[in-house]
């Protein structure tokens, strides 16, 4: 490995380099320092080293399709521009057959995962959400159902009267195989109060994933950064995820999500900088030493920065998506999806090896 420490390297950074190389865990204070330092290149190289030790030069992607059964939502999170009230212009709640009709119009050969999230629609019963999955599973039995956030699962417990485990068991009978990572936002109850996040609190978010892991499910997890939270809040979020991973080993990937402004016309001062995005990916890789993958999500940071992120600790570029809606309902200016060829081009252009995977990171094809 190259020598990262030079006469110009700050002493604290040099100490962190040694800790990482010796397999010592970084602390909250270390993570905050890495956010505060302007030594982006040393940080990036260190995260790159950590990723290469875990994954070599392989970078993963999947042929998937994002689906949204409903945008009606009882929650009013300050950052969300996707939600609607029942009766609003543009509000919708699709039946299973209506979703199948949509899928048949847009699906392409090779899709092996449906990524399903949506609003917390209190105007339909829990059985609606069960039947939605069942309809898709019966029509497309070979496509993995990655469905619902931990916040949605918590919502389902309230409208059904079931426990977390009870909800998960019912959904699994309908075809559910894994949970999406959303709903985490920042794992701080103070943050959630400021941002009007009235859905699942920190304890419930973690408990949903803990329960899923105990049932043998592997899941995903996220962090939505770039609003009112502090650097300490971000690193504390990572540490809470790391602690649960120590306990269960159930997370497959950590996904830092760069906050989008509410309007596509928002100027650059309302958006996270590329500098902040790359730092967050690199710090995530270094703090979360017990999670195999960190994802660079092109929907939020763009394809070009995603390509650069592959040298800053990222080992996954998500998937084809087909038509993303939540970030694009806000101010995302990125493509709503990419093709397999484009993802392969993107990864190869970064000097890495594209690997098409399934939902659980089993390798389907390596594009040497």
Tens digit of each residue's pLDDT, the chain (368 residues): 456 777 768 999 999 999 999 999 999 999 999 999 999 999 999 999 999 999 999 999 999 998 988 988 888 877 777 788 888 998 999 999 999 999 999 888 889 999 999 889 999 999 999 999 999 999 999 999 999 999 999 999 999 999 999 999 999 999 999 999 999 999 999 999 998 888 889 999 999 999 999 999 999 999 999 989 999 999 999 999 999 999 999 999 999 999 766 555 656 656 689 999 999 999 999 999 999 999 999 888 989 999 999 999 999 999 886 654 444 344 444 454 688 899 999 999 999 999 999 999 999 999 98
Cα–Cα distance measured from residue 213 to residue 197, given in angstroms and rounded to the nearest whole number: 24
pLDDT for the residue numbered 329: 46
116 pairs with which residues across the strands? 67, 147
**Residue-level pLDDT at 76:** 81
Residue 188 in marked binding region? no
Asked if 297 and 327 count as a contact pair (C-beta separation under 8 A), the reply is no
CB 347 within 8 Å of CB 61: yes
Query: In angstroms, rounded to a whole number, what is the distance separating the alpha carbons of residues 309 and 287?
Result: 16
Task: Give the separation between CA 174 and CA 172, rounded to whole angstroms.
Answer: 5
Determine if residue 236 is labeled as part of a ligand binding site.
no
Local structure of 299: helix, strand or coil: helix
* Distance from C-alpha of 340 to C-alpha of 363, rounded to nearest angstrom: 15
Quick check: 26 and 287 in contact, CB under 8 A? yes
**Alpha-carbon Rg of the chain, whole angstroms?**
20
pLDDT at 23: 96
Compute the distance between CA of residue 320 and CA of residue 111 in angstroms, rounded to an integer.
9
Locate 113 and state its tokens: 């995962």
The 3-state DSSP class for residue 73 equals coil
Kindly state the percentage of the chain with pLDDT values over 70: 91
Strands 113-116 vs 64-67: parallel, antiparallel or unpaired:
parallel
272 annotated as belonging to a binding site for a ligand:
no
pLDDT of residue 162: 98
Contact 248, 211 (CB under 8 A): no
32-41 own/partner pairs: CB under 8 Å, 24+ apart: 32/231, 32/232, 32/235, 34/279, 34/282, 34/283, 34/286, 35/231, 35/234, 35/235, 35/279, 35/283, 36/231, 37/10, 37/12, 37/13, 39/9, 39/10, 39/13, 40/275, 40/278, 40/279
């Amino acid at each position: 490995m190259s020598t990262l420490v030079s006469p110009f390297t700050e002493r604290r950074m040099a100490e962190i380099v040694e800790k990482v190389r010796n397999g010592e865990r970084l602390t909250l204070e270390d993570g905050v320092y890495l956010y505060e330092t302007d030594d982006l290149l040393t940080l990036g190289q260190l995260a790159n080293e950590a990723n290469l030790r875990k994954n070599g030069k392989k970078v993963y992607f999947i042929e998937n399709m994002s689906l949204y059964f409903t945008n009606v939502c009882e929650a009013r999170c300050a950052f969300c521009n996707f939600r609607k009230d029942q009766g609003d212009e543009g509000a919708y709640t699709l039946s299973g057959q209506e979703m199948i009709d949509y899928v048949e119009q847009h699906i392409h050969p090779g899709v092996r995962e449906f990524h399903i999230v949506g609003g917390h629609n209190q105007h339909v019963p829990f059985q609606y959400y069960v039947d939605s999955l069942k309809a898709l599973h019966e029509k497309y039995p070979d496509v993995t159902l990655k469905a619902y956030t931990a916040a949605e699962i918590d919502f389902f417990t309230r409208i059904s009267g079931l426990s977390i485990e009870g909800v998960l068991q019912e959904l699994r009978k309908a075809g559910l195989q894994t949970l999406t990572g959303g709903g985490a936002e920042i794992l701080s109850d103070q943050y959630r109060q400021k941002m009007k996040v009235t859905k699942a609190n920190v304890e419930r978010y973690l408990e949903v994933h803990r329960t899923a892991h105990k049932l043998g499910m592997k899941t995903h997890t996220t962090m939505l950064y770039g609003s009112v939270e502090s650097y300490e809040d971000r690193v504390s979020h990572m540490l809470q995820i790391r602690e649960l991973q120590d306990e269960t080993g159930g997370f497959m990937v950590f996904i830092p999500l760069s906050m989008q402004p509410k309007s596509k016309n928002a100027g650059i001062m309302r958006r996270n900088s590329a500098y902040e995005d790359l730092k967050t990916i690199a710090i995530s890789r270094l703090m979360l030493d017990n999670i195999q993958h960190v994802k660079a999500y092109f929907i939020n940071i763009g394809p070009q920065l995603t390509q650069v992120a592959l040298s800053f600790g990222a080992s996954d570029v998500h998937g084809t998506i087909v038509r993303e809606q939540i970030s694009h309902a806000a101010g995302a200016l990125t493509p709503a999806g990419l093709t397999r060829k484009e993802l392969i081009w993107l990864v190869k252009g970064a000097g890495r090896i594209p690997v098409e995977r399934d939902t659980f990171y089993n390798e389907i094809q390596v594009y040497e």
